[in-house]
Amino acid sequence: MFKFNTLRQLSLLTVLSVSLVACTSSPEEDLERVPDNSPKARYVEAKKSLNDGMYNRAIIMLSDLETRYPFGPLSRQIQLDLMFAYYKSGKFAEALPSIDRFINLNPNHPQLDYVIYMRGLVNMETGLNGFQDFFGIESDDKDMVASRDAFNDFNKLVDTYPDSKYIPDAKKRMMFLLDKLAHHEIVIAEYYMRRSAYVAALNRCKYVLEYYQQSTSVKDALTIMIEAYDNLGLPEMKADAELTLQKNM
């Protein structure tokens, strides 16, 4: 009885081991399992992985196709799918170069509006990831570069392709980014105010009034300016800021 149970356990372990090996096969091995090894068949398999949300697997398969067939009839579509897979998998450092390369090599491509839109999405996500809150002091200016780039990408899309189907979403994202960038300036201005650096605080607020007039931070900027002018002993400028604030109430 003991020997029989032991043998049965060993058999089960063997079956489980084989199953685990099969389940942990790498995407590279999966490439060789496509019955038809033609570029089209491999692309269909990669596209299926992409549609199923298996982005890392799709990236490996699409990258392999791009390397093997850089000038094939599917090459442009493979590049478009690859940048999307990079974006969805959070590999923004890989996504941006692939996008820029596509734009440089295909300045007249019919889907260039999509590529510019994707660039905005990648930069936006990069900026959001770098925008942190630490004891009330938010990220410094260098962390906002990607957010500014994203705003410029969406703005380029709106200006260059006004009929693009991506325009409505791009405009919504621009408003979000506008508020985010303006709020960042306010946070820095408040930081300067706490340290009595009134001129520096004023410069931040003036920047909001000049470049982010449509943001929700205009009133905050004017309020800080009033306090800064008061501390600097500039009653006339304070009065002008108060008048402007009343008009924006």
- Residues 140-159: pLDDT tens digits? 555 689 999 999 999 999 99
Q: How many domains does the chain have?
A: 2
Banded model confidence at residue 73, pLDDT cuts 50, 70, 90: confident
131 and 241 inside one domain: yes
Across-strand partners of 133?
138
Q: Which residues contact 225 (CB under 8 A, 6 or more apart)?
A: 202, 205, 206, 237, 241
Cα–Cα distances (Å) from 188 to 129, 148, 227, in that order, read: 19, 16, 15
Determine the pLDDT at residue 71: 87
What pLDDT does residue 65 have? 93
Residue 143 is classified by DSSP as: G
Q: Give the confidence band of 72 by pLDDT, cuts at 50, 70, 90.
A: confident
Confirm whether 232 is domain-assigned: yes
Residues in a beta bridge with 138: 133
Read off the amino acid at residue 5.
Answer: N
H helix runs in the chain, sequence order: 2-23, 27-32, 39-51, 55-68, 75-88, 92-105, 112-130, 145-160, 167-194, 198-211, 218-232, 235-247
Is the confidence at residue 230, as pLDDT, over 60?
yes
39/126 same-domain check: no
- Looking at residue 23, its pLDDT comes to 45
Same domain, 156 and 231: yes
Question: Do 58 and 23 share a domain, yes or no?
Answer: yes
pLDDT in tens, 11-70: 444 444 434 444 444 555 555 555 567 889 999 999 999 999 999 999 999 999 999 988
Residue type, 35: P
pLDDT category, 128, cuts 50, 70, 90? confident
How many CA atoms are closer than 13 Å to the CA of 169, on its beta-carbon side? 12
Could you tell me which residues are beta bridge partners of residue 134? 137
User: Which residue range is the domain that position 71 belongs to?
Assistant: 16-90
Reported residue count of the chain is 249
Mind listing the pLDDT tens digit for each residue in 84-118?
999 999 999 999 999 999 999 999 999 999 999 99
Q: Are residues 70 and 115 in the same domain?
A: no
Position 96 in a domain: no
Residue 33 lies in a domain: yes
Provide the CATH number for the domain around residue 57: 1.20.58
Q: What is this structure's pTM?
A: 0.78
Query: Read out DSSP for 159-210?
Result: HH-TT-TTHHHHHHHHHHHHHHHHHHHHHHHHHHHHTT-HHHHHHHHHHHHH
Same domain? For 53 and 84 the reply is: yes
**Whether residue 157 is found in the same domain as residue 191:** yes
User: What's the chain's average pLDDT?
Assistant: 85
